[in-house]
Amino acid sequence: MTRTPGGTIPVLLDVDTGIDDSLALLLACASPEVDLVAVTCAGGNVDARQVAVNTRAVLELAGRPDVEVALGRETPLVRPLVTTPETHGPRGIGYAELPAPVTALSARHGADVIVEEARARPGALTVVCVAPLTNLAVAVLREPDLPRLVGRLVIMGGSFRSPGNTAPTTEWNASVDPEAAKVVYAAFGAPDVVAAREAAGLPPRPVALGLDVTERAKLLPAHLERLAARAGCAPDGTRQDGTVNPVVRYLADALRFYMEFHGRYDGFYGAFIHDPFALAVALDSSLVRTEAVAVDVELGGTLTTGETVADWRRSWGRPPNVDVGAAADAETFFERFVDRVGSLAASRG
């Protein structure tokens, strides 16, 4: 992983904010090694313009109004956009209320931000995609050399050896824009790209974190209690003097909606926080064990459109194009998440 001379890691986040996306944003702001270069917005959990509103509001909550936020493509490459208000609420942040953001959107298109920031720091930029891969696909179609310019690519998406969460075999991000996922996996995992990246000392393949590992990051009320204690308040954000910690109150209200959703559909009162786990892995690869495998995306299945098909038995005879997450250290992840975001909350109180 490439760090700047100051010891930080340049990170670009691509989001569809989303409750767990907002937690990834907070974790990025709370991580001292992160140089948050920009955030690009795609449609997914909610429409892209609401994503841009949520993203700027969360960054302002975290004290980072300086981070560039760019609106990308508002619809998938081919299909109409499908959103998920039942999972994240009608505005994407559950029961939470945030002030309208005061910072302006970037004048740049999200795909151009990805291309231009990768060109500005070849081999150094870590791109973390926790949304449908629409923006990254547009970026690579505009700049075919992008896979050689990005330092590291971590994707939250897919379901490789586990059931799906959208259909029996499909994960949400991949199902929203499967054509984009196919473009990205083909471009970043092409044999000549893998060879060139390996020769340059870069991670040869993108890392894909499917539900196989991200559902190990199961946040429970006890985690939120520990985080609130770290911030010096009750789990609802209330302090002993009657004032409110705004970050913890946001987390409590957003996560309450998310936990109720999982209680209805997944049989536990808690929440899978896929997206902050993906960011954490981008910062520390030891949090996962990966396996190199050939992956493709189903586009025309009657029951399986959007399935990320992994050739575990090497039936295709293709070289591996993706490093797929196979095992996760969720305990260490939660220790860091609680400490870092709790510390951020304390500082913002």
Mean pLDDT of 242-249: 97
Task: List all residues 6 or more positions away from 296 whose beta carbon is below 8 Å from its beta carbon.
Answer: 182, 185, 308, 309, 311
Is pLDDT above 90 for 4?
no
One-letter amino acid identity for 342?
G
pLDDT value, residue 72: 98
Sign of the dihedral through C-alpha 211, 216, 217, 222: positive
Q: Where are the beta strands (DSSP E) in 295-334?
A: 295-297, 308-310, 322-328
Q: In whole angstroms, what is the distance from residue 269 CA to residue 275 CA?
A: 19
> And the tokens for 325?
């997450």
Could you tell me whether strands 218-219 and 207-209 are parallel, antiparallel, or unpaired per DSSP bridges? unpaired
pLDDT at 1 exceeding the cut of 70: no
- Integer-rounded Cα Rg, in Å, for the chain is 19
Q: Are strands 152-156 and 126-129 parallel, antiparallel or unpaired?
A: parallel
The phi and psi torsions of 168 (rounded to 5 degrees) equal -55, -30
Q: What is the mean pLDDT of the chain?
A: 97
Answer yes or no: is 318 within a domain.
yes
User: Contact, 276 vs 337, CB < 8 A?
Assistant: yes
- Nearest C-alpha neighbor of 10 from the set 185, 174, 151, 187: 151
Is 274 one of the catalytic residues?
Answer: yes
DSSP letters spanning 116-136:
HHHHHSTTT-EEEE-S-THHH
DSSP summary character for residue 285:
G
Asked if residue 324 is part of any domain, the answer here is: yes
Q: Please report the pLDDT score of residue 287 as a whole number.
A: 98
The sign one gets for the Cα dihedral 264, 268, 269, 272 is: negative
In the prediction, which pLDDT does 253 show?
98
* Amino acid (one-letter) located at 144: P
Q: Which residues pair with 247 in a beta bridge?
A: none
Residue 80 counted as domain residue: yes
In-domain check, residue 236? no
pLDDT exceeds 70 at position 195: yes
Domain containing residue 44: 9-219+267-348
Distances (CA, A) of 94 to 6, 67, 89, 199, 237: 37, 24, 5, 45, 16
- pLDDT tens-digit readout, 273-301: 999 999 999 999 999 999 999 999 999 99
pLDDT at 160 > cutoff 70 = yes
- Within a domain: 61: yes
> What local confidence, expressed as pLDDT, does residue 7 receive?
79
In a domain, 240, yes or no: no
For residue 328, what is the domain's CATH number?
A: 3.90.245.10
- Give the integer Cα–Cα distance in Å for 232 and 154: 33
Q: Reply yes or no on whether the pLDDT at 6 is more than 70.
A: no
> Does the residue 224 lie in any domain?
no
Query: How many residues can be counted in the chain?
Result: 349
pLDDT of 91 strictly over 80: yes
- What pLDDT shows up at residue 65? 98
The stretches of 150-286 forming alpha helices (DSSP H) are 172-176, 178-188, 191-199, 211-214, 221-231, 246-265, 274-283
**Average confidence (pLDDT) over 26-35:** 98
Structure-block tokens of residue 221: 């009320």
What is the average pLDDT across 69-96?
A: 97
The domain total for the chain is 1
For the residues 260-268, what does the mean pLDDT come to?
Answer: 95
Q: What percent of the chain has pLDDT over 70?
A: 98
Confidence of residue 5 (pLDDT cuts 50, 70, 90): low
At 270, which helix (H) or strand (E)? none
What's the whole-number mean pLDDT along residues 224-245? 96
Give me 78's structure tokens. 């081919």
Q: Percent of the chain beyond pLDDT 90? A: 97
pLDDT at 250: 98
Q: Is residue 108, in this structure, part of any structural domain at all?
A: yes
Tokens 């975290």 belong to 62
Pick the catalytic residue: 88, 109, 223, 274? 274
The pLDDT, as a whole number, for residue 282 is 98
Residues 93, 17: Cα–Cα separation, whole Å:
8
